[in-house]
Amino acid sequence: MEQPQFTVFKTVLAYSVFILVSPVLTFFVTKFIFFEGFLGISSTSSNVWSAVLAVVMLHIALGLYILKAYSEADRGKGKPAEKVE
Amino acid sequence: MSELGEQNPVYGPFFGVMGAASAIIFSALGAAYGTAKSGTGIAAMSVMRPELIMKCIIPVVMAGIIAIYGLVIAILIAGNINNPTSYTLYKGFLHLGAGLAVGFSGLAAGFAIGIVGDAGVRGTAQQPRLFVGMILILIFAEVLGLYGLIVAIFLYTKN
């Protein structure tokens, strides 16, 4: 009983961190390294494109979480957990 | 444009600052409502069906995403605000409009996610096939915030 609860917690924690960190990281990495470093685009348009990429990344992360939750729930359908008194 | 004038008065940046502030304030308000409302639903549901928690965290995640929209626009605007000699009033208005667009769309989307999340999570506990419908409705609620973000980015890039 204790073990699956911990694994679920680990999965949720990992996905939460991924969802929160990946867009922020995408924004700053693409802005400073890719757009301004590599391509040398001006500040405004590099801001906009990094923001767009960050939002796309966010939705990819969210989609992965939904996929995981969906497949997870199908797998663990076996027995309903007992109510903890 | 190195001195104050009619096009770039001293109060010009006020509008930009208010745009950045309202972007994050209102979307955080919507996200907080969405998280709290669907959180009560999850708390009530998971007493009997704790194995569904992983599925039912999704409304909370989506509410969090609303706040990230506001954060993105607030960062964009804040990075572009300058001292009034090189910041036209027109730019300030654009930034105010961008901030309000994403802020109020985020507020609306947060309300929708909260109410749908609460009812959907409680319903999913009794009929698991409702999950697909809940996700679909949540995505449509979420897209409202995305529309605000798109308009805000358009306004932000205007010169």
User: What's the token pair of residue B71?
Assistant: 């954060």
**Which of these, B56, B32, B52, lies nearest to B118 by C-alpha position?**
B56
Q: Cα distance from A70 to chain B (closest Cα, Å)? A: 7
Question: Across the interface, which of B47, B64, B72 has its CB nearest the CB of A51?
Answer: B72
What pLDDT sits at residue A73? 62
User: Which chain A residues have a beta carbon less than 8 Å from that of B68?
Assistant: 23, 55, 58
User: What's the token pair of residue B36?
Assistant: 């709290």
What pLDDT sits at residue B2? 67
**Domain map of chain A by residue range?**
23-72
What pLDDT sits at residue A44? 76
Residue A13 has pLDDT above 70, yes or no: yes
- Chain B residue closest to A69 (CA)? B55
Contact at CB, B57 and A12, closer than 8 angstroms: yes
Q: What is the pTM of this model?
A: 0.85
* Confidence at A85, pLDDT banded by 50, 70, 90: low
Residue A20 has pLDDT above 70, yes or no: yes
CA distances from A28 to A37, A52, A68, B69, B141 (A): 12, 12, 27, 15, 28
Q: List the single best residue of B47, B49, B52, B65 to mutate versus A (max A Cβ within 10 A).
A: B65
**ipTM surpasses 0.90:** no
What pLDDT sits at residue A79? 54
CA distances from B79 to A53, A77, B90, B95 (A): 18, 49, 17, 11
Task: Name the average pLDDT for chain A.
Answer: 80
Residue partners of B148: CB distance under 8 A and separation at least 6: B69, B101, B102, B103, B104, B105, B106, B109
Tell me if chain B has a CB within 8 Å of the CB of A20.
Answer: yes
User: What's the token pair of residue B84?
Assistant: 């009034």
Residue A1 has pLDDT above 60, yes or no: no
**Which of these, A10, A46, A59, lies nearest to B149 by C-alpha position?**
A59
What pLDDT sits at residue A82? 60
User: Which chain A residues have a beta carbon less than 8 Å from that of B149?
Assistant: 55
In one-letter notation, the amino acid at residue B78 is: A
Give every residue of chain B whose pLDDT is below 70, as ranges.
1-2
Residue range A39-67, pLDDT digits in tens:
877 777 788 888 888 889 988 998 998 88
Residue A77 has pLDDT above 60, yes or no: no
